Structure 1
Amino acid sequence: MDTRRLGYFVRVVDIGNITRAADSLHITQSALSQHISALENDFKSRLLERTGRGVEVTASGRSLYRYAQGIIRLEKAARIDLRAGGDTPAGLVTVGLASYSMAPGLAVPLLRAVRERYPNIQLQLIQNLTVVMSQAVLLGQVDMALIYDPGYVRGVVFEHIREEEFHLITSARTPPVSSRGDTVTLKEASRLDFLMPSELHTVRRITEAAFHAAGLHCSVVAEVEPDSVLRDAVVNGLGATVLPLSAARAHFAPDEVRVYRFADSRLYTAMSLCTCEVQPLSHAAALVADLVRTLVPAPAAPGRKPA
């Protein structure tokens, strides 16, 4: 199979329009259409449906798109590794970082450590993907991911790094939720409007499960994925959210929010390093994994406001 065609296909899916994709690839529209047709012939399946606005991806196309991303990444990693040569660790290493966690705060320290110790390793840090991170590891789209442990997932291994306890986060501009300082009950919290990630996210699932177990409703008024949007929305008093203390410290200035520990329920999960069960890490990826383990900070002590 011509991996170049897979790259063309991924570009078309990303842009959603063959004409604009052809322009970005510096080839003609007809040539790009021929490459897509050749892929469809190879797989004996329709990958794209042409529409008046551009193209829509079929179910088969979505499956190929996920695998194509992994294949393209592995090819790029091989080229970097072989180009470096010698005994110096080299290659492309892709690390997925869970949103709404302490993981994004690890990005700069990890990048610095890799540049200082292994200058021939090209690090790629990814936070948002079209599939969940554990599936991205399984599909070869990332080498490893630092994520909330979702429980058993066939084909991947979860190495517990640290435990994260969730806290209620509200804007300092809004009245205090509780008169007891830095603790709050689920009933008190249930009176608030919440800004949360999608229903698939571990933070959302654990939070709603705790409210449900207490016979209460968690009112989610908006689903927010980008961390920067969440930060601004909470600070401006548009809703409360639930985060681990480490993420609250990373996202908010000390006087922007109030942080409450749940007095009558412990909401927590494990942060884990996720790797593929059947595909061993490359030498470069194994070195980066060791750095991740050493850079993960110890759990922060609870407090009323993030420092």
Structure 2
Amino acid sequence: MDSRLIEYFLRVAELGSINKAAADLRLSQPALSRHIALLEHQLRARLFTRTQGGVVLTESGTLLLERARPLLRQLTHLVDQVGDRAAGQLSIGVAPSWRHLFTTKYIPRLVAEYPGVRLRVHEGVSHELREVMHAGMLDLAIVPFEGAPPQGYVHTPLVREPLILVAAKNAGLRPDKPVPLSRLAHRKLALASRQNVIRSTIENAMARRHLDFNIVFELDAMHLSIDLAREGVADTVTPCCAVSGNAHWDDAISWSPIRGAYMTWALCENTARSHSQAVREGQRVVLDMVDEIIGSKRWLGAERLKNRSRHDPPQ
């Protein structure tokens, strides 16, 4: 049996839709349907029931879902053991705010240093990445630090950075002049939905100070929220890395750190894939690049958190 059929099945089960899974896998919907039908034929069992809203697992499909992922991990483990260099697959999740400073440099660097690695990058806001992590679909993820990582993952604190208020150019905000949290009480704001760590951090901080704030609309799209701030529609709050060191925004927006408002990022690692040389090398490149970016002073106010990874050599 072709292991890709199992991977296709898992993606359909995760998304609950053949159309969505086909788009994610870059297959046509008829082609993916044929793959699923072939898998059902080989297993002699119906795996999905078609509904108006998509597909739901049958009893047989639920059983396969429970058993398939460990089998694929074992197969991946075997492939990695047989290979003597960093060949295999690396799936990494990164927040949109990291795009300019990190992600656009990480991808070409990893591909150049490890051409045998098949890289898959998932960009999404924090709660979206955690949903994908809960499904076991990511090997590494850079996400906001929380008390406990998702089940099956370990995390390493990476960076502490300021949260910033982003507004139109004529608002007169300056990176070298932090603003008090109370400044947000007098602004129209566009923030992410309540599951988002930045939203909850700001909401809780405002509540502790008995401050009200005006959310004009919710928007789980960071770069769009910055564009709207540039147009003067509504201000927004982002991690500093979203704009710091990015010449694209220099003449388009104004921004200031919010005094006393910070967030911490962590690197999460899937323990079922920690044996993989590709994952280890991917993690090493992440840590090296974060050190380099902070050392370059392009990431305003960023503080590297020096918790040693469990893959680092003893000091």
Give the TM-score normalised by structure 2.
Answer: 0.72
SS in structure 2 at match of 1:267: strand
| Structure 2: unaligned runs, 5 residues or longer | 302-315
Cα deviation for residue 37 of structure 1 reads 9.4
**Aligned in 2, Cα 1:198/1:58: closer, same or farther, shift over 3 Å?**
farther
Cα deviation for residue 93 of structure 1 reads 0.4
1:25 aligns with 2:32: yes
Cα deviation for residue 221 of structure 1 reads 1.9
Q: What pairs with 1:68-107 in structure 2 (closer than 5 Å)?
A: 86-99=83-96, 101-102=97-98, 105-107=101-103
Check the 8 A contact 1:70/1:139 in 2, yes or no: no
Match of 1:133 in 2: 129
Match of 2:310 in 1: none
SS in structure 2 at match of 1:239: coil
**Aligned in 2, Cα 1:226/1:105: closer, same or farther, shift over 3 Å?**
farther
| Structure 1: unaligned runs, 5 residues or longer | 41-46, 303-307
Check the 8 A contact 1:73/1:141 in 2, yes or no: no
Paired AA for residue 15 in structure 1? N
Check the 8 A contact 2:168/2:254 in 1, yes or no: yes
Check the 8 A contact 2:182/2:211 in 1, yes or no: yes
Cα deviation for residue 130 of structure 1 reads 10
1:55 aligns with 2:44: no
1:209-240 CA-to-partner distances (Å, cap 9, x unmatched) read 11111111232222222333223212111111
Paired AA for residue 117 in structure 1? E
Give the TM-score normalised by structure 1.
Answer: 0.74
C-alpha separation in 1, matches of 2:157 and 2:33: 46
* Percentage of matched positions with identical amino acids: 17
Check the 8 A contact 1:144/1:273 in 2, yes or no: yes
**Aligned in 2, Cα 1:183/1:57: closer, same or farther, shift over 3 Å?**
same
Cα deviation for residue 131 of structure 1 reads 6.3
Check the 8 A contact 1:102/1:247 in 2, yes or no: yes
**Aligned in 2, Cα 1:117/1:22: closer, same or farther, shift over 3 Å?**
closer
Paired AA for residue 137 in structure 2? Q
Check the 8 A contact 2:162/2:258 in 1, yes or no: no
C-alpha separation in 1, matches of 2:62 and 2:227: 35
Equivalent residue in structure 2 for 1:198, among 166, 177, 193: 193
Root mean square deviation of aligned Cα: 4.2
Check the 8 A contact 2:125/2:196 in 1, yes or no: no
Match of 1:189 in 2: 184
